[in-house]
Amino acid sequence: MRGTVDGFTYGLVTPVVAYLMACLGGALGLRCTTRPMLVAQSWRPGWLALGAVAIGSGIWTMHFVAMMGFTVKETPIHYDKALTFASLGVAIVMVGVGIFIVGYRGARGAALFTGGTITGLGVASMHYLGMAGIRLNGTLEYNTLTVAASVVIAMVAATAALWAAGQVRGFAWSVGASLVMGLAVSGMHYTGMAALSVHLHHTGAPVGGASPAEMLWPMLIGPLAFLVLAGVVVMFDPMMVAGRPVVTPVQNKPGVPAHPEVRHQPHHAPPRPVRLSGRRRSRTPQSR
């Protein structure tokens, strides 16, 4: 017997909020990724790691906000906590690998393709590992072609987002890249959910795991608090907001714009005039 699956129990509330969360994580993460390109002598590993955690937290939060609207009419839904939080770790690690490739090799050519592919696979892995943590009185079944389409959507959109972020042409490009990243996550999620069907069991065995309400608070307090903290870091970095590249900062500090070096000419005392004199007169009186 197939269950009645509803992915929009609360209408457009959960899809819109989920998309905004994905855009927030993408905006912060991509700005951190381009930070070493904007300011010379930045601590590149730190900024790239912060970007990976921001994007990973954003897409993970997006996934479970969207899952708040997912119900099966005939059975309650619970979640395995270990698999659920493992999906967060997988998202951060795989997205981090893709971001470090682009951050060190540049957003072009083979580096862009490799980084975008790994980042997209990280989004897909997070989604399907999180789905594996669902506990209900039934079995989840997927359409293979639709699942493959969802993975391709994630890889293509993630590659496009990294390319747009790597252009370093100002804040507007980063906003556009974050919208594309949000589209990658949301498009992948709902395409993957379209591939899902539930085959119900006839037994009325109790369902283990945590309820969606129990998972809501850890999901919001942890990753969302981190996203707010990352947002504060980005807001108080002037070059992150201005989006102007700096090649050689004078003060050797991140975020300090470069100024042209002024060379001062040394001041020399004017040379004394040389007197051309004849014989020197003696001051001693001479007898005549």
Predicted local distance difference test score (pLDDT) of residue 94: 92
Predicted local distance difference test score (pLDDT) of residue 16: 93
Residues 265 and 283: their CA atoms lie apart, in Å, by 45
Per-residue pLDDT tens digits for 101-146: 988 888 888 999 999 999 999 989 999 999 999 998 889 999 999 9
Residues 66 and 62: their CA atoms lie apart, in Å, by 6
Cβ neighbours around 266 below 10 Å, total? 4
For residue 158, pLDDT beyond 70:
yes
Backbone dihedral region of 243: left (phi > 0), alpha (psi from -120 to 50 degrees) or beta? left
Predicted TM-score (pTM) of the model is 0.75
Predicted local distance difference test score (pLDDT) of residue 261: 47
Per-residue pLDDT tens digits for 175-205: 788 888 888 889 899 999 999 999 988 766 6
For residue 97, pLDDT beyond 90:
yes
Mean pLDDT, rounded, for 157-176: 77
For residue 90, pLDDT beyond 80:
yes
Mean pLDDT, rounded, for 243-259: 43
Lowest mean pLDDT among 25-29, 91-95, 229-233: 229-233
pLDDT band, residue 243 (cuts 50/70/90):
very low
For residue 273, pLDDT beyond 70:
no
Cβ partners under 8 Å of residue 120, min gap 6: 98, 151, 154, 155, 156, 157, 158, 159, 184, 188
Tokens of 206: 């109790």
Average pLDDT of the chain, as a whole number: 78
Predicted local distance difference test score (pLDDT) of residue 247: 43
- Pick the more confident residue, 204 or 14: 14
